[in-house]
Chains A and B, each alone.
Chain A
Amino acid sequence: MLNEILAYVSPSVPGYFSGIALTAALSVIGASVGILAGLFGVGGGFLLVPLMNVLLGIPIDLAAGSATCYIIGASASGIVRHWKRRNIEISAAVLLSAGSIFGALTGDFLQDFIIHTLAGGNREMFEKIMQGLFVVILFVIAWIMYKNPGERKGGKTVLQKLSFGPSVTLRVSGQEGVNAAGLFLIGFSGGVLTGLMGVSGGVLFLPILVLGVGLLPHLAVGTSLTVVFVSSLTAVLKKGLSSPDKVSLPVAVSLLVAGTIGVRLGMIISGKISGSALKRYFSIIALSAAVMVLVKLFF
């Protein structure tokens, strides 16, 4: 039985590399993305899937599933740190997480819909559609990092202006009358990204949580990590229960071990290089990744 379980969680990984060469290549990618993540204060999940797909030739759905599995481990350690410092806005985290559970399930269903219905079972077409989605996401991330949205300037947030349905109070951030359905929808959108593309979407959601919801920046990071953990956990459970070809545990473990070391190295380096303009350089990296996927898409 153990052998069957191990075979289930370790599907064969098609691509340009196999065996030790694949582990080494994944470790290099994991460490590099980890360093960038630690340096720029982002999750970096949105770089993992395109890099695994374009540079290693791993099918995009397997790359996305394995990256989601990696995100579980990466966010778990972050949650412990933020929980100890009370950096999680519980009421917002509960509503966002509830939305993210439905979103993650929808995202995985959407991935199946694209493979079987939209692409008619044609894997090449499916890869092209997903690569196109990644180009869009990477351009949006590059734009957000370039604009580098700052802190909120006071007044009512977008979610406080919505008058329909029930509202909640965010005690630690001191925000009253925050629309509950809005929080649920934000969580839902993040979950869809995780279930469909294997990205946590933290870069996209941090500005939304700070500017749109009104969370204090340090609370936004802890709360976002909690939501990312819940959505990736849901997505991996759903993928694991539906098919053995969607998640590879050895791939996720290789990324995680090297990625954790990389994140710490990146954090040490970022402590020595100061300046808020640093984040803008990250937009160049996201832009380069978008161009790389675009080249793969057309050539």
Chain B
Amino acid sequence: MIKVLSALLLVAVPVLIGLAMNYLMDLVLGILKAGGRRKDA
């Protein structure tokens, strides 16, 4: 049981972190781009 749950954790955590980091980077880069455009205007 512990082995199965551990194996599932080993695949679920990287998927969640990968997706979350991707979303976060999109958000940060979006904010930086919007800030840059506002400065230009």
A80 within 8 A of B: yes
Given A8-B2, A80-B22: A256 and B14 interface contact (C-beta under 8 Å):
yes
Main secondary structure of the interface of A (DSSP, over half): helix
B11 within 8 A of A: yes
Q: Which residues of A contact B7 (CB under 8 A)?
A: 236-237, 240-241
Q: Which residues of B contact A261 (CB under 8 A)?
A: 21, 25
Complex: A236 Cα to B12 Cα, angstroms:
11
Q: Which residues of A contact B9 (CB under 8 A)?
A: 5, 9, 249
Q: Is the CB of A76 within 8 A of B2?
A: no
Q: Which residues of B contact A289 (CB under 8 A)?
A: none
Q: B1-16 vs A: 1/0 string, CB under 8 Å? A: 0111111111101110
Chain A minimum-CB-distance residue to B14: A73
Q: Which residues of A contact B13 (CB under 8 A)?
A: 73, 249, 252-253
A69 within 8 A of B: yes
Instruction: Give the shortest distance, in Å, between B19 (CB) and chain A (any CB).
Output: 6
A184 within 8 A of B: no
Given A236-B7, A237-B7, A240-B7: A70 and B14 interface contact (C-beta under 8 Å):
yes
Q: Is the CB of A253 within 8 A of B17?
A: yes
Q: Which residues of B contact A144 (CB under 8 A)?
A: none
Count the A residues whose beta carbon is within 8 Å of the partner chain — how many? 31
Q: Is the CB of B3 within 8 A of A240?
A: yes
Q: Is the CB of B21 within 8 A of A257?
A: yes
Q: Is the CB of B22 within 8 A of A236?
A: no
A1 within 8 A of B: yes
Given A256-B21, A261-B25: A76 and B10 interface contact (C-beta under 8 Å):
no
A247 within 8 A of B: yes
B41 within 8 A of A: no
Chain A minimum-CB-distance residue to B28: A264
Complex: A261 Cα to B9 Cα, angstroms:
23
Given A76-B15, A257-B21: A69 and B10 interface contact (C-beta under 8 Å):
yes
Q: Which residues of B contact A236 (CB under 8 A)?
A: 7, 10-11
Complex: A237 Cα to B4 Cα, angstroms:
8
Q: Which residues of A contact B22 (CB under 8 A)?
A: 77, 80-81, 260
Q: Is the CB of B15 within 8 A of A73?
A: yes
Given A73-B17, A74-B18, A77-B22: A8 and B11 interface contact (C-beta under 8 Å):
no
Instruction: Give the shortest distance, in Å, between B8 (CB) and chain A (any CB).
Output: 8
Q: A241-258 vs B: 1/0 string, CB under 8 Å? A: 100100101001100110
A72 within 8 A of B: yes
Q: Is the CB of B18 within 8 A of A260?
A: yes
Additional pairs, 19, CB under 8 Å, beyond known A73-B17, A253-B13: A5-B5, A8-B3, A69-B14, A72-B11, A73-B14, A75-B18, A76-B19, A81-B22, A236-B10, A237-B7, A240-B6, A240-B10, A241-B4, A241-B7, A252-B10, A253-B17, A256-B17, A260-B22, A261-B25
A-B contacts, 10 of them at CB < 8 A, read: A1-B2, A5-B2, A5-B9, A69-B14, A75-B18, A80-B19, A237-B7, A240-B6, A241-B3, A260-B25
Question: Which 7 pairs between the two chains have the least Cβ-Cβ distance?
Answer: A73-B18, A240-B7, A73-B14, A77-B22, A260-B21, A8-B6, A76-B18
